[in-house]
Amino acid sequence: MTDSVYYAELTPKAFRARLAAAPIAYLPLGTLEWHGEHLPLGSDGLQAQGFFERLAREVGGIVLPMLFLAPDMRFEIKGAAYFGMDYFGFPGDEAHQLEGSAYWVPDEFFAQLMEHCLAQLRRAGFRIVVAHGHAPSVQCVYANCEEWERRHGLKIFSCWREDESDGLGIQTDHAGGNETSLMMAMHPHLVHMEYLDPDPSVFPVAVGDEDPRTTASAERGQQAIALNLARMTELLREALATI
Ligand SMILES: [Zn+2]
């Protein structure tokens, strides 16, 4: 069997072998979105993809290319569109169009896009889909999961736990201690902590929850990956046994 777990890199022969071993498709729900001065714009998809690669090597299955269109809160002010973090983290919560953000689609469009993806994956032979990444995209999956499972004959998973208060989940904040730690563990060459203001009294712009300068580390990222890898491995092995 080929070493690659990435759909786009598989020949039909390698695809057949991986699908027969474990008919699981992993869909990284990405964005092209401001994640602080210190993280790359594709951080959401990169974290989900990095976690899925590890999961696919453990349980089997195939990792899809990341989506970069996603839903989010959206506001229009004087004819200009603002979405997601554009509205948070500024003095007085004044809206700014954050540099590099280019991903927004309406909720209904995203739900339709997901349904078309699911229909294609079922047709290609998959029985289980794991979709995770950008929070509003994951929320859309949770909201529609049961109906989509019924309609498409699939089992659908995301990766959040019921209680994420330990900060060791997969993508539970916005470029804060959690996401920055995951990026440090998975893609250290893409993280630039030196781009953040060293003044501790200046909180990084449009970053959610904990200050990444004092709470993020590669070790914390590794711990989150190990914990969720064990949990998702168990869930997916159970699901494979029942299909
Ligand atoms: Zn994110």
Per-residue pLDDT at 92: 59
In the reported structure, the alpha carbon of residue 45 is separated from the centroid of ligand 1 by a whole-number distance in angstroms of 8
* Model pLDDT, residue 1: 47
Which class is 7-168+224-242 in CATH?
A: alpha beta
| pLDDT tens per residue across span 147-169 | 999 999 999 999 999 999 999 99
Q: How far is the CA of 18 from the centre of ligand 1 (A)?
A: 29
DSSP state, residue 78: T
Across 27-39, average pLDDT:
97
Question: At 72, phi and psi to the nearest 5?
Answer: -175, 170
pLDDT of residue 31 exceeding 80, the answer is: yes
Give residue limits of the domains in the chain: 7-168+224-242
Strand order in the sheet with 62-63: 62-63, 24-29, 128-133, 155-157
CA–centroid distance, residue 42 to ligand 1 (Å): 8
Mean local confidence (pLDDT), 89-116: 87
**Which 3 state secondary structure label does DSSP give 26?**
strand
Q: Is 28 exposed, middle or buried (0-12, 13-18, 19+ CB in 10 A)?
A: buried
pLDDT number for residue 229:
98
Q: At 208, is the pLDDT very low, low, confident or very high (cuts 50, 70, 90)?
A: confident
Centroid of ligand 1 to alpha carbon of 172 (angstroms): 8
pLDDT of residue 91: 55
Residue 206 has pLDDT above 90, yes or no: no
Instruction: Give the C-alpha separation, 138 to 233, whole Å.
Output: 19
Q: What is the pTM of this model?
A: 0.95
Over residues 15-37, mean pLDDT: 97
